[in-house]
């Protein structure tokens, strides 16, 4: 009996899409939402009144910019490395404060989207031309492999927006452990964690009445159609959000409204959907101090300090190696 021919893929997106849609239950990776269209949709999401995360973290950074910047400073200067930099709107608060104080630092924004990095670099040239900026395109995990090369002076690793919330606890520990392994004793990690709160407030943030979050979630299907020659009918899928207050886990799904077949030509793939079958697209984990401390301990980190908004809806933590 002949072995089935090995499938080759043109991109990680193609391979991950194939694996996810062939799995049971089906899933797609949320990182692929972020193309040019996805970036614009996420910027709209951050401006929504329901999406409290952005405004809460913005307030934390605005109110505590001086204390945070002082924590970052070092006699020999430092490298500020931001994972998942996005449009940098919040980070600019810290950059302006550090430039005004004459701190010696390089800002290294990292993002999977080159489009976002180009826009960020251009905006920084206009708004904060004194800042030394060196953009880095790539995924978190590939960037983490390079982080240990930056060892001539203090590193401050910045992760805003509760990006860690897109990971399961196991993956979050692995992620934190990878960061820890790249840190020297004087380095620090500054990271945002969305906090547990009224369940309805969380559900509203991921299921807004104007449908922006639905468009954002469905951008995965748009990308498959345009880049992999798929024939997903977006109207045949329902955007659905769940939140479990016990575990603090919010999940996003696309739900098939009917029995249907979807073809993806570039993957030579036909996918069958039963009525009400799901595609899991995103996890958004919520935390409290005890869970954050547990994650840190598991990864060999210690919590040095935290900054919260007035209602403690959101917190930024400073970590160091244990």
113-126 pLDDT, tens digit per residue, is 888 899 999 999 99
Local confidence band at 142 (pLDDT 50, 70, 90 cut-offs): confident
Query: Under a CB-based contact definition with an 8 Å cutoff, are residues 297 and 175 in contact?
Result: no
Facing residues of 106 across strands?
Answer: 79, 132
List, for residues 154-187, the tens digit of each pLDDT value.
Answer: 999 999 988 899 999 999 999 999 999 989 999 9
Q: Return the pLDDT at 1.
A: 43
Query: Under a CB-based contact definition with an 8 Å cutoff, are residues 263 and 283 in contact?
Result: no
List, for residues 283-304, the tens digit of each pLDDT value.
Answer: 999 999 999 999 999 999 999 9
The whole-chain average pLDDT of the chain stands at 93
All domains in the chain, ordered by first residue: 12-48+200-285 (no CATH), 52-197+287-321 (3.40.50.150)
Q: Answer yes or no: is pLDDT of 217 > 90.
A: yes
List, for residues 236-259, the tens digit of each pLDDT value.
Answer: 999 999 999 999 999 999 999 999
Structure tokens at 76: 């020999």
Q: Return the pLDDT at 5.
A: 54
Helical H segments across the chain, by residue range = 12-22, 36-47, 52-72, 91-100, 114-127, 140-147, 169-181, 199-205, 212-227, 289-298
| Torsions phi, psi for 112 (to 5 deg) | -75, -25
Query: Under a CB-based contact definition with an 8 Å cutoff, are residues 309 and 178 in contact?
Result: no
DSSP letter at 74 equals -
Distance of alpha carbon 237 from its chain centroid, rounded? 24
Q: Answer yes or no: is pLDDT of 3 > 60.
A: no
């Amino acid at each position: 009996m002949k072995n089935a021919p090995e499938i080759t893929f043109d991109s990680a997106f193609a391979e991950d899409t194939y694996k996810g849609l062939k799995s049971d239950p089906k899933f797609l990776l949320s990182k692929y939402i972020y193309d040019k269209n996805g970036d614009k949709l996420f910027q709209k999401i951050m401006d929504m009144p329901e999406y409290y995360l952005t405004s809460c973290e913005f307030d934390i950074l605005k109110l505590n910019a001086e204390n945070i910047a002082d924590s970052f400073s070092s006699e020999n200067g430092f490298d500020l490395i931001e994972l998942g930099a996005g449009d940098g709107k919040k980070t600019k608060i810290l950059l302006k404060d550090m430039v005004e104080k004459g701190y010696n630092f390089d800002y290294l924004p990292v993002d999977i989207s080159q489009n976002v990095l180009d826009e960020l670099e251009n905006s920084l040239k206009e708004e904060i031309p004194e800042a030394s900026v060196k953009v880095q395109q790539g995924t978190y995990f590939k960037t983490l492999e390079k982080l240990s090369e930056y060892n001539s002076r203090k590193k401050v690793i910045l992760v805003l927006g509760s990006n860690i919330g897109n990971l399961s606890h196991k993956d979050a520990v692995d992620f934190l452990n990878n960061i820890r392994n790249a840190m020297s004793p004087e380095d620090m990690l500054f990271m945002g964690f969305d906090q547990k709160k009224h369940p309805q407030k969380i559900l509203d943030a991921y299921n807004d009445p104007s449908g922006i979050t639905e468009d954002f979630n469905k951008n995965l299907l748009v990308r498959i159609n345009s880049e992999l020659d798929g024939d997903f009918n977006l109207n045949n899928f329902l955007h659905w959000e769940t939140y479990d207050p016990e575990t603090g886990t919010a999940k996003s799904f696309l739900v098939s409204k009917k029995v249907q077949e979807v073809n993806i030509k570039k993957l030579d793939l036909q996918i069958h959907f039963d009525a009400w079958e799901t595609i899991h697209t995103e996890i958004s984990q919520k935390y409290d101090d005890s869970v954050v401390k547990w994650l840190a301990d598991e990864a060999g980190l210690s919590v040095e300090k935290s900054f919260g908004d007035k209602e403690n809806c959101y917190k930024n933590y400073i970590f160091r190696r244990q």
